[in-house]
Homo-oligomer: A and B are copies of this chain.
């Protein structure tokens, strides 16, 4: 009978789990329907993630106050005493029968009576590791896989500066300011438990992960400036990675200084070492799986079977995460670089069908995971049991994140502008300052460990900061863009057209095909095609060396990596020294020779066609030209046609915009339109 009771309990628990998941599915369904309504009615002041949070909040309130405490046991669970430390597996002996128990975690002594009482609320609380191991990977992978690579590589120097230096600055500024706030609270007597300096730094790391998902969605819809988009997107993706590694380095710093929690040079350098080790390890892991996938897809004829190909792609991308975790690196960071590598190499080897499938698969996963996290955030505000609201701390944190962001953006932009040819203008800097939203990553980092008093206070504060920034800054993007006079081209056409255009753009923008090509308007692209080695035009020329480094990488990538890993690029037989002849011809795919032949023909073609484009600049009849450009897939062409139709106005803005589309179409021929660097080699 006892057995039966325990079986019933397990069944009840399973039922309860189903109900909880149903709650979230219901929330997501509601969100989807409201998003549709918003898109349909062209409402822009609230983004889908903000919406998900609101629905989460509402359900949280209902769960917290609307439902009577569903305690089917009113007594606290039985406890037993051991002298040893906590073990992972515990056996329970009930009159000769043994039951196995697994460790769930430490419990605060004041919570013991709550353990079963708030069962519903506790149940609705997921294991924090779910966020890190299940929900974040698809989001981050999708970010890496859909990087708009042309603008991204053009601004790589600036992006890395903001991401590494900027995040470190932001982390230290916020950490130190918060330490001041904590000291103040101790003075006033508002602090009831320990709060170390390392805790403050950890908080700084959490809050340095910006996540302008709302802003970017609106940018994407409004077609705001491509460089600004690249800067914001690139920075936010990379600083997520930096913030994760930074926070784990800070945690690694703690142990050896456990007693003092003060500065310790040895521990500091150990932390820096940990940071570099984890970051580079994860990077290598991610890139390696990407390369393996590229090789597998290149040397098998797997592209005849799109289902197998998609499944393999999915499995390999997932294995990056597990591999990195198994080697004690950071899976999420590895997944990011895997995504970038897959887009750069593997994508070229996939069949037409699989390129669509993989993008769509990860798009759906990303969408669901992101909205799930945001609705969970809303829910957590009311269902999380250990909130510690401290007004001084919260106020301090709000001020600190602004100051931290300002110390990140303005000085670095000033420094970068010293070297950049295309300066980051003042209004762009203000927009970047404004777009410093905190989102899924900050939340996931904060909820990962809420065992101590300090961490609980941080979690509550992070949650409030996420709410505030997503709603206020996210909602204020469109007015802010107007106010800062940053051009955007939405407002014409219906919402449906908008979406179709955006959709078409994303769908047919071939992420992987040499998008590091830098087709500057008119004369610039002409220069590039003439092969004078000036592809770093418009690249961040912070220092001559970095440009040189980039060129070195580009040459290496184009001459060796692309031919080895994909079907594109020049044949290895022409780039490798003669002594490697047999190896080279073995590694080069037959397509590469074909492409090489076509390259010569097409180069001249494109020279003409591009000259044409330059010629047309003062004209509005770009549509006709678009039709004559040939190449590219039919659907891409039709998207272009739609835009062409709308370009009745002769404003320079519209023209520039058309050019953007035009460039993308050219990019879709990227494999042939390669920078003819073999002349230099």
| A residues apposed to B, CB below 8 Å | 2-6, 9-11, 13-15, 18-19, 21-22, 25-26, 28-29, 32-33, 35-36, 39-40, 76-109, 112, 115-116, 129, 255, 296, 300-302, 304-308, 310-312, 314-316, 318-319, 322-323, 325-326, 328, 331, 357, 360-361, 363-364, 367-368, 496, 499-500, 503
The contact sample of 9 A-B pairs, CB cut-off 8 A, is A32-B308, A36-B305, A77-B88, A82-B92, A82-B94, A90-B92, A98-B107, A304-B496, A304-B499
Residues of B close to A325: CB separation below 8 A: 14-15, 18
Contacts A78-B87, A91-B80, A105-B100 given; does A296 touch B33 at CB 8 Å: yes
Whole-angstrom CA separation of A4 from B252 in the bound complex: 12
B36, A308: Cβ atoms closer than 8 Å: yes
Q: How many copies of the polypeptide does the oligomer hold?
A: 2
Minimum-distance CB pairs A-B, first 4: A79-B91, A2-B85, A101-B101, A80-B80
Query: How many Å from the CB of A90 to the closest CB on chain B?
Result: 5
B94, A84: Cβ atoms closer than 8 Å: yes
Whole-angstrom CA separation of A302 from B13 in the bound complex: 36
Which one of B2, B22, B79 lies within 8 Å of A319 (CB-CB)? B22
B323, A29: Cβ atoms closer than 8 Å: no
Whole-angstrom CA separation of A18 from B326 in the bound complex: 6
B25, A315: Cβ atoms closer than 8 Å: yes
B77, A89: Cβ atoms closer than 8 Å: yes
Q: Most B CB atoms within 10 A — which of A18, A40, A363, A503?
A: A18
Query: How many Å from the CB of A361 to the closest CB on chain B?
Result: 6
Contacts A6-B86, A98-B106 given; does A361 touch B363 at CB 8 Å: no
Residues of B close to A499: CB separation below 8 A: 304-305
A301, B368: Cβ atoms closer than 8 Å: no
Whole-angstrom CA separation of A290 from B32 in the bound complex: 17
B79, A90: Cβ atoms closer than 8 Å: yes
B80, A82: Cβ atoms closer than 8 Å: yes
Contacts A315-B29, A360-B360, A368-B315 given; does A79 touch B92 at CB 8 Å: yes
A90, B78: Cβ atoms closer than 8 Å: yes
B361, A364: Cβ atoms closer than 8 Å: yes
Residues of B close to A36: CB separation below 8 A: 300-302, 305, 308
Which one of B25, B39, B308 lies within 8 Å of A318 (CB-CB)? B25
A107, B115: Cβ atoms closer than 8 Å: no
Query: How many Å from the CB of A248 to the closest CB on chain B?
Result: 11
Contacts A32-B311, A360-B360 given; does A88 touch B10 at CB 8 Å: yes
B84, A78: Cβ atoms closer than 8 Å: yes
Whole-angstrom CA separation of A349 from B546 in the bound complex: 54
A92, B105: Cβ atoms closer than 8 Å: no
Query: How many Å from the CB of A589 to the closest CB on chain B?
Result: 17
B357, A360: Cβ atoms closer than 8 Å: yes
Whole-angstrom CA separation of A80 from B311 in the bound complex: 47
Query: How many Å from the CB of A224 to the closest CB on chain B?
Result: 21
A77, B85: Cβ atoms closer than 8 Å: no
Whole-angstrom CA separation of A316 from B30 in the bound complex: 11
Query: How many Å from the CB of A289 to the closest CB on chain B?
Result: 11
Q: Most B CB atoms within 10 A — which of A308, A496, A500?
A: A308
Query: How many Å from the CB of A28 to the closest CB on chain B?
Result: 6
Residues of B close to A21: CB separation below 8 A: 322
